[in-house]
């Protein structure tokens, strides 16, 4: 079967106050050839292990925790992965209505992801859609995400599977982590270098509160 794999990770937090992050980013990385993109990041891990001193570094790649030297290797590598595409859902959190300032927020994100990006695969050549989301979500957050995504996935007319796995368990999930973090820091603190370092990758962005004018905190 010609399957389409989508790996989803997030950056930002769900603290809806002035003390929380200003933005929340969901990155959905479409891996057209998941073995190829996974193997390339895995090779980098082995190269770094061979160069290291035997410590615990490089168990997995995590953009916000990796040292700059590591990020300087990972981002250019991602930039050469012609078999991936990135779809971003972004939100300026102050525009979130109080009704959604909880687990229901993931329902909004899931709905936007499905409506604006997943439905485009209705008439594609792919036989099945497999979505792998970061397992960091609580059970309530997972339920809200699935509640909105599954009905829209059915509209594609294609078989689908939705999983929640730890990002560190899959190299494509770690690619999604890096892509989410790159978009997040560009919005949160104007740090553009990470996004510029993956400029060659096809990207689409949807701002779910683009038309919003009300700030709730």
Residue 32's pLDDT is 87
Confidence of residue 115 (pLDDT cuts 50, 70, 90): confident
Token pair, residue 206, equals: 């949807």
For residues 210 and 112, give the distance between their C-alpha atoms in angstroms, rounded to a whole number.
12
Residue 118 lies in a domain: yes
Q: Is the Cβ–Cβ distance between 100 and 109 less than 8 Å? A: no
Residue 134's pLDDT is 82
Give me the mean pLDDT over the 166-173 stretch. 89
Residue 140 lies in a domain: yes
Most confident among 74-88, 118-132, 151-165 (mean pLDDT): 74-88
Residue 95 lies in a domain: yes
Print the domain residue range for 14: 3-207
For residues 108 and 89, give the distance between their C-alpha atoms in angstroms, rounded to a whole number.
10
Give me the mean pLDDT over the 110-133 stretch. 86
Which is more confident, 195 or 55?
195
**Beta bridge pairs of residue 3:** 128
Residue 215 lies in a domain: no
Most confident among 115-119, 153-157, 211-215 (mean pLDDT): 211-215
Task: Look up the pTM and report it.
Answer: 0.92
In this model, does residue 55 exceed pLDDT 70? no
DSSP-based three-state secondary structure for 119 = helix
Give me the mean pLDDT over the 12-16 stretch. 94
Residue 213 lies in a domain: no
Secondary structure letter of residue 169 according to DSSP: G
Number of independent structural domains in the chain? 1
In this model, does residue 86 exceed pLDDT 80? yes
Q: Give the lowest-confidence range in 3-17, 123-137, 171-185.
A: 123-137
For residues 25 and 183, give the distance between their C-alpha atoms in angstroms, rounded to a whole number.
7
Q: Note the helical H segments in the chain.
A: 34-51, 68-79, 105-116, 139-155, 171-188, 193-196
Residue 40: other Cβ atoms inside 10 A: 16
Who contacts 60 (Cβ-Cβ below 8 Å, separation ≥6)?
45, 167, 168, 174
Q: What percent of the chain has pLDDT over 90?
A: 65
DSSP-based three-state secondary structure for 68 = helix
3-state helix, strand, coil in the chain (%, to 5): 45, 20, 35
Residue 87 lies in a domain: yes
Residue 54's pLDDT is 56
């Amino acid at each position: 079967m010609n399957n389409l794999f989508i790996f989803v990770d997030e950056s930002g937090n769900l603290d809806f106050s002035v003390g929380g992050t200003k933005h929340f980013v969901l990155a959905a990385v479409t891996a057209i050839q998941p073995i190829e993109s996974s193997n390339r990041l895995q090779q980098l891990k082995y190269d770094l292990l061979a160069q290291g001193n035997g410590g615990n570094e490089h168990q997995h790649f995590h953009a916000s925790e990796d040292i700059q030297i590591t990020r300087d290797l990972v981002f250019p590598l991602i930039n050469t992965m012609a078999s991936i595409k990135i779809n971003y859902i972004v939100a300026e959190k102050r525009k979130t209505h109080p009704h959604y300032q909880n687990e229901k927020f993931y329902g909004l994100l899931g709905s936007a992801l499905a409506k604006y990006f997943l439905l485009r695969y209705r008439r594609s050549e792919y036989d099945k859609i497999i979505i792998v989301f970061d397992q960091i979500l609580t059970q309530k957050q997972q339920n809200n995400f699935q509640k909105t995504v599954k009905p829209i996935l059915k509209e594609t007319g294609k078989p689908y599977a939705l999983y929640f796995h730890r990002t560190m368990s899959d190299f494509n999930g770690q690619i999604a982590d890096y892509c989410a973090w790159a978009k997040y820091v560009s919005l949160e603190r104007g740090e553009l270098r990470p996004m510029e370092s993956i400029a060659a990758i096809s990207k689409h962005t949807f701002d779910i509160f683009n038309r919003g004018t009300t700030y709730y905190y």
